[in-house]
Amino acid sequence: MKRLILSININYNQLTQRLNSFIFILSILYSAPLKDADIAEFIEARYADADSIVYSMISEDFMYHHTPYIGLGIFTEYSDGSLLITGIVDDSLQTMLDVGDLIHEMNGKVVSADSPVITGRAGDGQRLILTKKGDSTFTEIIAPLILVQFSQNDSLFLADLTPYADLWHDYYIEILDVVSEKEKASVYYHWEGSREEGGPVYHFYAMELIYFHKKTELIYKIETLWSEKQFRDQFKY
């Protein structure tokens, strides 16, 4: 009798272990993707400077890939009648310009705070009159346009939240569509905001691909997509 009871317990324990293992495997294979509400919360938190929420939803290997664009691959700041180069997106692509250079003219026109956006195809030359850092001699160069994509890791992405939020007096976000899959979600949204009370309202529409780890549901990559305007900007009218 004791042997029979022992045999039943052993078989029961083995069956339970197998069942638990089967349930665990199913939970991995069929783990639910991020819900649409989670995606909406993440988008809204980014623009609200809710960095604690954003931080809790991204992984340590997170990367944010900005929309690719055709340009000179530089960051500039207008100061005292010239454009000061404050950063280079990728110094392996942009080798003719350096941080600290001052651009005075672009394509025959004196630069201003409202200088037009550069348009053209990758490889099109841009005529620049500039002074190199630490030099007062005016130099003319022909710098080709390049295809650039700026990327940020988790630290840089979080650091940008506060400066962006400080630019706007108020704003509104409307999530237009979310399509979720097992490890990816596509989100399309509309943003509008003004820099001062009663001031002009600015708009943009964005579409992003959000990738997340299946087990943790933490977001590890965001890719932003090209718009038709970015395509048309490559043509000169």
Quick one: pLDDT at residue 23? 42
Q: How far apart are CA 174 and CA 43, in angstroms?
A: 10
Is residue 115 a contact partner of residue 103, using CB atoms and an 8 Å limit?
A: no
Domain, as residue range, for 187:
32-68+149-232
Helix and strand totals (H; E) in the chain: 6, 14
Return the number of other C-beta atoms located less than 10 Å from residue 120's C-beta.
17
63 and 155 both lie in a single domain: yes
Question: What value does the mean pLDDT take over residues 70-99?
Answer: 88
Whether the pTM exceeds 0.85: the reply is no
First to last CA, the chain: 95
Quick one: pLDDT at residue 106? 92
- Assess whether pLDDT exceeds 60 at residue 94: yes
Comparing 26-30, 197-201, 212-216, 229-233, which segment has the lowest mean pLDDT?
Answer: 26-30
Residue 168 lies in a domain: yes
- Assess whether pLDDT exceeds 70 at residue 63: yes
Dihedrals φ, ψ of 22, to 5°?
-65, -45
**145-170 pLDDT per residue, tens:** 988 888 899 999 999 888 777 888 88
165 and 228 both lie in a single domain: yes
206 and 103 both lie in a single domain: no
Q: What is the CATH number of the domain that holds 98?
A: 2.30.42.10
78 and 120 both lie in a single domain: yes
Mark which of 148, 172, 191 sits at the end of a domain.
148
181 and 214 both lie in a single domain: yes
**Number of structural domains in the chain:** 2
191 burial (CB, 10 Å; 0-12 / 13-18 / 19+) is middle
Quick one: pLDDT at residue 227? 58
111 and 141 both lie in a single domain: yes
**170-217 pLDDT per residue, tens:** 889 999 999 988 899 999 999 998 988 888 998 888 899 999 998 899
Q: How far apart are CA 81 and CA 85, in angstroms?
A: 13
CA proximity to 206, closest of 178, 168, 234: 178
